[in-house]
Amino acid sequence: MNVVVWNENRHEKSNPMVAEIYPNGIHGAIAEFLEEDQIHVKTATLDEEDHGLTDELLNETDVLIWWGHKAHDEVKDDIVEKVHKRVLEGMGLIALHSAHFSKIFKKLMGTTCDLKWREADETERLWVVDPSHPITEGIGEYIELEKEEMYGEHFDIPAPDQLIFMSWFEGGEVFRSGSTYQRGKGKIFYFRPGHETYPTYYNKEIQRVIKNGVKWVNNVNTPAPVYGNAKPLEEITKKQVKQ
């Protein structure tokens, strides 16, 4: 399995607090814990040529993890189209935190993906609402984060294929924090936690969810459907019998 962790990598350059928390970037922190499970990981960032997402790299990628926040509009439309095509072909996508507003996530969802938010040191409790789902393997009834940014409903997304996590914040809001979708042959997992000024991606339970998510969105040996003008099945069967 080939995984690419994409990060705009802007906060780490402009905010000393973020640089201190993630000295190797958010992409580096995520890549590091994925590599613990012997997963082949590469990273890509916004300011690289083609945002680091060359045709060659995308064609080899089984799962793309996307983190973005302040520079969504700087992502080139032609790159978004290429990523969108690869998802429809079967590449898995995990959208983290503010990637709900990324061009690629909004294109796949077909909605504004807008929400309420509040930057405050609030406790977040992510309740597992589908304990049978593989993404929740190894997780208890909930994950508690001492400090996180608040996201609140209404979250303008399509009804999820599966709702896995529901967050509660001490300010009183709730939020659909873990949702899955399928677009074409591609599986998509949106996972809310991960504001840049908190060490969320060092939390072992958050790491476990992302690792589980990588395995779940990875399509293994899925057959490619055949489209276009089709011969009658009877004709095909007779031909096979003669052979």
C-alpha angle with apex 95: 131 to 16, nearest 5 degrees? 115
Q: Name the DSSP letter for residue 48.
A: S
Q: Which range marks the domain in which residue 191 is found?
A: 2-113+177-221
73 located within any domain: yes
CB 142 within 8 A of CB 128: yes
pLDDT tens sequence across 211-232 = 999 999 998 777 777 888 887 8
Instruction: Identify which of 126, 59, 124 has the alpha carbon closest to the alpha carbon of residue 87.
Output: 59
163 located within any domain: no
pLDDT at 223: 75
Domain count, the chain: 1
pLDDT at 148: 97
Question: Which parts of the chain have pLDDT scores under 70?
Answer: 235-243
98 located within any domain: yes
Query: How far is the CA of 222 from the CAs of 40, 74, 102, 196, 218, in angstroms?
Result: 20, 34, 27, 35, 10
pLDDT at 106: 98
Summarize the chain as % helix, strand, coil (round to 5): 35, 30, 35
159 located within any domain: no
Query: How far is the CA of 11 from the CAs of 16, 24, 71, 242, in angstroms?
Result: 8, 12, 10, 66
72 located within any domain: yes
- How far apart CA 120 and CA 123 sit, in angstroms, is 9
User: What is the CATH classification number for the domain harbouring 72?
Assistant: 3.40.50.880
139 located within any domain: no
Buried b (16+ CB within 10 A) or exposed e, 62-76: bbbbbbbbeebeebe
64 located within any domain: yes
147 located within any domain: no
